Structure 1
Amino acid sequence: MDPIANESAALMGRVAPEASALKHRSRTTEKELDKDIAEMFIRRLCQLLDTEDFFGRQASLSPQKKIERLFLASPEDKNKSDFNCAVSPKVRLQVPLLFQAVAGVIEEKSGVLVQSSSEINGEGFGRALLYSDRIILVLKSLRAGFPFPFTSEEKVIRYGVACVEEGLAFMDKFNEMTALYGTDGLEG
């Protein structure tokens, strides 16, 4: 059925079956995580958290406890950030560490040097950029700090794995296109 017809049918109270299926799509059916990438991401994030722990006070903790104590924001921090639109120190810590961990996993999976650059201002607006040479692999805009601050480990891992998969997919597509046409065909 034509999208315009779906729209007008919905306005008149008559909804086509395929239109109602589109409306009732939910987020409860989440994509299965790649366990290998998730483990690599957790390991990289914990390595970065260990470099921030100068005296090794948290060295004996499990990776999950390290992420919980040193990386995740408390619900109070999240509410405070939501209320006054100011970015908490936890968010300023989370943004660069998360994208450095993602860059490390992409490096490990692809064998190519990947750089990360991230910035966030006091109101939560900013960007994160992962690139290799002249190729931008991942570009994320931060609006009012969203999706930061993370308050659960699962959300951190899902977001990190999604960024890694996005970067690897773009790198594969770039390699495929340059194999066919060379890099001259991709110049703007």
Structure 2
Amino acid sequence: MRVHTALHQGHIWGICPIQDFINTDHQHMTPTVAQQRMILTQRDSINTCEISYMTIQNKTKRKKANNEVTITKQHNQKMISATTSATALTKKKLTSRRRRGGGGGKERKKKKKKKKKKKKKKKKKKKKKKKKKKKKGKIIQNKQTNKQNYSFFFRIIAFVPFFELSATDLGRSLYSRSVKVFSPIFFED
């Protein structure tokens, strides 16, 4: 299946899960947060292209990072590869997945806590306050592995009239399960 995306004034909007990206070697691997890559096959040739990533933390707050992209030739196809910066995809729930490097810090001495005498107090009935639930970002559920994939927007700015995206290069689930695209797209089996 191939997906033909028509560029409208050089803008494409879409949502893609992080784990659906694959490397330029066409191997299905799960890259780290700092090594996210997107591969697009392209018919027409351009010099540079700009891709901006925005993580979805809240509906109002979105972090941005712009990356300039250069075109490399692989297997007689002109590919566009982009690596996102680790700060662009930094999120409270994604920090545990990242590997943190660097040397060990100084050991801190633990202070001994003084034991306090407990005083008996009369118990008073308190009214329970209802806690407001915080609105989280959009979470895409992966049915195969039952893992939560956090999605992010990507925008392609390029003055090219036509893009050709193949499902074999970008992964099947990019189109079938989780993509919402805000530009005209035509599917062909």
Settle same-fold status: TM greater than 0.5: no
- The structure with more radius of gyration: 2
Normalised-by-shorter TM-score class:
under 0.3
Q: Normalized against structure 1, the TM-score is what?
A: 0.20
* Greater share of helix: 1
Structure with larger RCO (C-alpha < 8 A, sep 6+): 2
Q: Normalized against structure 2, the TM-score is what?
A: 0.20
* Greater share of strand: 2
